[in-house]
Amino acid sequence: MKNQTAFLTAPKKIEIDDTKMPAMGIGDVLIEVKQVGICGSDLGFFVDPTSGGRREAAYPIVLGHECAGVVIETGKAVQDIRPGDLVAVEPGVPCGHCEYCRSGRYNLCPDVDFLAAPPFRKGALQRYIAHPGDFVHKLPEGMTALDGAMLEPFSIGVHAIKRSRVMLGDTVVITGAGCIGLMCLMACKAAGAARIIVSDIYDNRLKMAKELGATDVVNSSRMPVEKEVLRMTDGRGADHVLEAAGVPAAMDAALAAVKRGGNIAVVGLNHTPTPFDFYEAARKECDLIHVWRYANIYPIAMKTVIAGKADPKSVVTSMFRFEEVQTAFEDSLNKKQEIMKAAIAFDK
């Protein structure tokens, strides 16, 4: 067997090269990669691997962390996973020993090794990867590799609504209808939120939000979302705001749109230090919640998809072959009005 890997070798330049098959530990499984979703973070690193200014990165880098494939081989310590299984890869592998790992919040492990994230030890954009058997999830009959790959961003949405405790009948505002905003939307819908108001500056994204179950959409380039939310809720505001735009201005809108005693979950990653009106937040006694990836969420996300309560793969609007990875990234970056999310399909 021969491996091939897509290397980011310079800003906005990805080259595919023949590589060695990955080394396997006794707890690892060898996976023939079938689908990899291109995430906003991949696009950020494609342009500048040091984006955010807090990272060090040296080329070459392998991108891709939303991944599913078929197990080819298993290490002798692997239980429950067998060759031939179609699996979703949970990209973050924590140390397993620290206080966070032991308390179940392994997303906070300081030593987590996450695919295609600093320090960029490994990425999914290759024909074969080795990954710990404990961090792959066998997909049941009826789920495809694309379903499996999309469990990654969907898990963020599920984790976000668990953290913010979205309940049956709630009113939720989601600022930002990119992939993560739409994943939050599907999670809210599945959780029984009664009213889901989604804002974005792109009409194509709002159209998709509507298709996926948003009760109301607001184009925030034409109308301040907070104003619309207050109008729709008779001045009361929303029970929850899920901020998924990752831009500084969204925090003001979130604070104005949340009701007294409600909460704001910051899901989008905003790298810019942002002013925030703490006095207004105190007056409303609203909670500010943060969301960092997810822990113990894949099984919940998977059951939600199997039950037909959410279909995360519906955000994928463009499919590219592995050989077209450069185009897939360029198009994702330059055609935001057309491409909601792209994914890479590997042929046999």
Work out how close the CB of 44 gets to Zn ion at its nearest, in angstroms, rounded to a whole number: 11
CB 12 within 8 A of CB 48: no
- Report the interface residues with Zn ion, using CB under 5 A: 39, 94-95, 98, 101, 109
Helix (H) or strand (E) holding 5: strand 3-10
- Closest CB 38 distance from Zn ion, rounded Å: 9
- The CB-of-341 to Zn ion minimum distance in angstroms stands at 10
- CA angle at 164 for the pair 89 and 214, rounded to the nearest 5°: 80
CB of 91 to Zn ion, least distance (A): 8
Helix, strand or coil, per DSSP, at residue 65: coil
Q: How far is the CB of 293 from Zn ion (least distance, A)?
A: 9
Closest CA to 186 of 210, 170, 165, 202: 210
Residue 151 phi/psi, 5° resolution?
Answer: -65, -25
Q: Give 63 or 217: the residue with its C-beta nearer to Zn ion.
A: 63
Q: What 3 state SS string does 140-159 have?
A: CCCCCHHHHHCHHHHHHHHH
> Nearest distance from residue 112's CB to Zn ion, in Å?
7
Query: What spatial distance separates the first Cα and last Cα of the chain, rounded to whole Å?
Result: 12
Cβ-based nearer residue to Zn ion, 61 or 109: 109
Query: Are the CB atoms for 216 and 194 separated by under 8 Å?
Result: no
Helix axes 40-47, 325-334, angle to 10 degrees: 100
Residue closer to Zn ion by CB (options 98, 288) is: 98
Cα–Cα nearest to 125, from 37, 49, 45 = 37
